[in-house]
């Protein structure tokens, strides 16, 4: 559905899951409209965004978007706050924030009185273009990240692109890196549709509306054909095994989405080596590589600064400890000849380790980062 003219541009579709379906709408001004229509709802919001939300006089629970906020110990406080606001099975919860708030509200809404309805307003570009659909929660326990979780989708997702106006270059670039990853995983047609939108930093909210709609419709297809993470959905891990190692190995100086963008390039580079190693016949898509290199350009300074002080042994250790690997094999998603992606298992031996190491260094050298 595309409404142009007297109406602000808005797009909308349904996501079907085994536990029901929910509507996803993207456009501008959606949060302020909902706020006026639902004065009695309880708002669980990212504390940093609270001053701009006009929520005086509303029932508000605000939390900092920190990993410590999504720890299991914090849930009794959140549940008590809901109780103090007299939340019951008819109460509707409105969540406003990025992935941290989404994880918290997914879990809190699922356990409060055995489950209450909630609407999600994602506010980071990665949560708008990627994580807002899927319905998963991941909660930290005693310092272990994302150790427990469940699936409890919202009754509605409203992607309000006005929230993009305050995001940094790193947040926009990182969100677009995740978005192109999804479209590439969906197949060549979606990848071309995405590129035709010229997604780059800086990005206006109207451009954002089209980009988010493209990425979400690609992700909708993927999660509907593989709701339980068995096949296609595993390809969404593209760029993540290499990227997580950079994110953690740089002590989070390289933020998640930017690290994923770099991880996609390292995976492309690895695909070339793997071709010689395993005769998989892999070849990266030159167009994807070109796009990703241009996308990362506005954050070059911060990447170069982070790489200057990075301990490369720590990156390799983080790569080794990725929980997606098996006892004897590394598992990674790489581009293949037909323009698609493939999840491969590589033996944990000296040759593979050398190839992984070279894929990182060759990528950074080619980009002039080191």
* Rounded least distance, CB 67 to ligand NAD, Å: 6
Question: Is residue 17 involved in binding ligand NAD (CB under 6 A)?
Answer: no
Question: Is residue 102 involved in binding ligand NAD (CB under 6 A)?
Answer: yes
* Rounded least distance, CB 136 to ligand NAD, Å: 4
Distance between CA 83 and CA 280 in Å, rounded? 57
In the set 24, 42, 44, 100, which binds ligand NAD (CB under 6 A)?
Answer: 100
Footprint on residues 151-180 left by ligand NAD (CB under 6 A): 163, 166-167
Distance between CA 120 and CA 104 in Å, rounded? 11
Footprint on residues 243-272 left by ligand NAD (CB under 6 A): 256
Footprint on residues 105-134 left by ligand NAD (CB under 6 A): 123-124, 126-127, 131, 134
End-to-end CA, the chain: 46
- Given a contact cutoff of 8 angstroms between Cβ atoms, the answer to whether 254 and 262 are in contact is yes
Burial string for 280-303 (b: 16+ CB within 10 Å, else e) reads bebbbbeebbebbeebbeebeebb
- Given a contact cutoff of 8 angstroms between Cβ atoms, the answer to whether 299 and 307 are in contact is no
Question: Is residue 48 involved in binding ligand NAD (CB under 6 A)?
Answer: yes
DSSP helix, strand, coil percent of the chain (3-state; round to 5) = 50, 20, 30
Size of the site for ligand NAD (CB under 6 A): 26
The nearer residue to ligand NAD, 124 or 352, going by C-beta atoms, is 124
* Rounded least distance, CB 114 to ligand NAD, Å: 21
Q: Is 97 left (phi over 0), alpha (psi -120 to 50) or beta?
A: left
The nearer residue to ligand NAD, 167 or 253, going by C-beta atoms, is 167
* Rounded least distance, CB 122 to ligand NAD, Å: 7
Q: Could you tell me where the beta strands, DSSP code E, fall in the chain?
A: 2-3, 10-17, 20-27, 42-46, 59-63, 92-97, 117-122, 139-141, 144-148, 156-160, 329-335, 341-347
The nearer residue to ligand NAD, 159 or 288, going by C-beta atoms, is 159
Question: Is residue 205 involved in binding ligand NAD (CB under 6 A)?
Answer: no
* Rounded least distance, CB 309 to ligand NAD, Å: 22
In the set 103, 160, 247, 346, which binds ligand NAD (CB under 6 A)?
Answer: 103
* Rounded least distance, CB 244 to ligand NAD, Å: 11
In the set 146, 275, 278, 358, which binds ligand NAD (CB under 6 A)?
Answer: 146
Of 251, 257, 193, which is closest to residue 221 (Cα–Cα)? Answer: 193
Which residues bind to ligand NAD, rule: CB under 6 A?
46, 48-49, 65, 67, 97-103, 123-124, 126-127, 131, 134, 136-138, 146, 163, 166-167, 256
């Amino acid at each position: 559905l595309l409404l142009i003219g007297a109406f602000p541009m808005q797009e909308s579709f349904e996501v079907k899951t085994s536990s029901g379906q929910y509507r996803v709408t993207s456009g501008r001004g959606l949060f302020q409209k909902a706020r006026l229509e639902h004065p009695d709802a309880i708002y669980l919001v990212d504390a940093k965004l609270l001053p701009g939300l006009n929520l005086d006089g509303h029932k508000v629970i605000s939390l900092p978007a920190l990993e410590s906020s999504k720890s299991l110990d914090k849930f009794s406080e959140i549940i008590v706050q809901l109780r103090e606001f007299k939340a019951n099975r008819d109460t509707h919860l409105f969540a406003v924030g990025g992935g941290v708030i989404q994880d918290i509200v997914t879990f809190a809404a699922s356990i409060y009185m055995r489950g209450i309805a909630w609407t999600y307003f994602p506010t980071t570009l990665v949560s708008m273009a990627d994580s807002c659909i899927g319905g998963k929660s991941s909660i930290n326990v005693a310092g272990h990240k994302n150790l427990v979780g469940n699936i409890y989708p919202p009754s509605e997702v409203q992607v309000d692109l006005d929230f993009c106006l305050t995001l940094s270059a790193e947040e926009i670039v990182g969100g677009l890196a995740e978005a192109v990853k999804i479209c590439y995983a969906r197949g060549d047609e979606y990848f071309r549709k995405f590129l035709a939108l010229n997604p780059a930093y800086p990005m206006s909210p109207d451009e954002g509306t089209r980009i988010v709609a493209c990425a979400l419709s690609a992700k909708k297809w993927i999660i509907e054909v593989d709701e339980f993470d068995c096949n296609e959905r595993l390809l969404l891990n593209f760029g993540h095994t290499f990227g997580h190692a950079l994110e953690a190995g740089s002590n989070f100086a390289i933020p998640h989405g930017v690290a994923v963008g770099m991880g996609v390039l390292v995976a492309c580079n690895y695909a070339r080596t793997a071709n010689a190693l395993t005769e998989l016949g892999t070849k990266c898509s030159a167009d994807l590589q070109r796009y990703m290199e241009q996308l990362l350009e506005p954050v070059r300074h911060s990447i170069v600064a982070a790489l200057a002080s990075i301990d490369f042994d720590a990156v390799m250790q983080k790569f080794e400890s990725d929980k997606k690997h098996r006892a004897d094999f590394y598992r990674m998603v790489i581009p293949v000849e037909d323009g698609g992606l493939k999840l491969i298992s590589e033996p944990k031996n000296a040759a593979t380790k050398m190839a992984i190491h070279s894929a990182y260094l060759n990528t950074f050298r080619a980009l002039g980062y080191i």
